[in-house]
DNA sequence: TATTGTTATACTCTATAACTATA
DNA sequence: TATAGTTATAGAGTATAACAATA
């Protein structure tokens, strides 16, 4: 009874893929934190800044995208604002809303951050172009994108 | 000069793969944190407990594996020990060392945690067996394993 | 009344530095 | 002296609850 014969365990290949993905996740995260650190940013600050580099967003939307409580966003934006990387703007359409926006300096840092990700180069460099396309297709399918 | 013609930018396929990996990382992390939360564990506690479920480890080694300072491990092990999921044992070979070990309850929780990872089933379920094998091979190559 | 953002609070994770007990 | 683990401290992220301004 301790090991029901019909326990739905993933097959061995799936289990190994999950483990490999875990390794990729660990490596990617490590790389991201390091790249953020090179700009004296925490991971959370780097993620928020990267979002704002695309478009200004209300504090509430930032919380949704970062999957955290709105009260946290206040503090993270505060710290980025002190450093001149982010600014708060009023929303003409709704005076309750504050739009957080990356400054020019903030966008510059975000771009350097993105380009500093080693993971974009080294591990993938070991694959041929055909293999990268194959990997792209499999990841798309996995994520339900394609 | 603002955009050097020979700036080594990854090709478009590589860039898209990196973005897809970012999505996978976000999804995996979210899933892991949620699974941990279902057992009232933080992510750091879940990762430490999962390591100890394999084998007892000196505090120092735990810090190395978790890539954090040894002083942090003290607190995380403290909290898991209060809940009876982990215990500290002396190392007969070196009285300076404390071996952290998962209790039986701790190993049970670690197993449930592992089996609770939805990511092990849903996204990969959309791939055929051949595709999963192909993905396994590509990830191995990427990580320099195979 | 409902929503947006903030403040106040408490807990966890994190790094640094200083301490202890062993080696 | 050097190493293993701890303590003390401070900063940052997190969730919860209560609040002011606006809708």
CATH of the domain at B78: 1.10.10.10
Residue A39 domain boundaries = 32-121
B115: pLDDT strictly greater than 50 = yes
Q: Examine residue B105 and state whether it is found in any structural domain, yes or no.
A: yes
Taking residues B103-129, report their average pLDDT.
Answer: 89
* Bases along strand C below 7 A from a protein CB: 3-9, 12-18, 21-23
Q: Which residues touch strand C (CB under 7 A)?
A: A 58-61, 70-71, 73-74, 77-78, 88, 91, 94, 96-99; B 42-45, 66-69, 71-72, 75-76, 79, 94-96
Q: Examine residue A137 and state whether it is found in any structural domain, yes or no.
A: no
Percent of chain A with pLDDT over 90: 73
By CB neighbour count within 10 A (0-12 exposed, 13-18 middle, 19+ buried), where does A45 fall?
Answer: buried
Q: Is any atom of strand D within 7 angstroms of residue A69's beta carbon?
A: yes
Nearest nucleotide (CA of A78 to C1'):
C6
Q: Examine residue B64 and state whether it is found in any structural domain, yes or no.
A: yes
Torsion of CA A49, A32, A69, B32, to 10 degrees: 160
How far apart are the C-alpha atoms of A137 and A127, rounded to whole Å?
14
**Top-confidence residue, A63 or B10:** A63
Contact check, Cβ <8 Å, A143/B17 = no
* Bases along strand D below 7 A from a protein CB: 3-9, 12-18, 21-23
How far apart are the C-alpha atoms of A99 and A92, rounded to whole Å?
10
Q: Examine residue B16 and state whether it is found in any structural domain, yes or no.
A: no
Q: Examine residue A68 and state whether it is found in any structural domain, yes or no.
A: yes
A1: pLDDT strictly greater than 60 = no
Q: Examine residue B15 and state whether it is found in any structural domain, yes or no.
A: no
- Helix ranges (H only) for A11-128 are 12-37, 43-54, 59-66, 70-82, 104-115, 122-125
Query: Phi, psi at residue B57, to the nearest 5°?
Result: -140, 145
Domain count, chain B: 1
């Amino acid at each position: 009874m301790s090991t029901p014969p019909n326990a739905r365990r993933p097959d061995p290949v799936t289990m190994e893929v999950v483990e490999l993905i875990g390794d990729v996740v660990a490596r990617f995260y490590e790389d991201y934190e390091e790249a953020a650190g090179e700009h004296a940013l925490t991971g959370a600050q780097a993620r928020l800044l990267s979002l704002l580099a695309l478009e200004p967003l209300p504090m509430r939307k930032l919380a949704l995208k970062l999957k955290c409580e709105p009260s946290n966003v206040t503090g993270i934006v505060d710290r980025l604002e002190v450093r001149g990387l982010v600014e708060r703007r009023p929303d003409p359409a709704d005076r309750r809303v504050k739009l957080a926006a990356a400054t020019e300096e903030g966008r510059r840092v975000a771009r350097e951050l993105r380009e500093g990700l080693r993971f974009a180069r080294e591990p993938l460099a070991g694959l041929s172009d055909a293999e990268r396309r194959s990997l792209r297709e499999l990841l798309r399918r996995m994520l339900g994108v394609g």
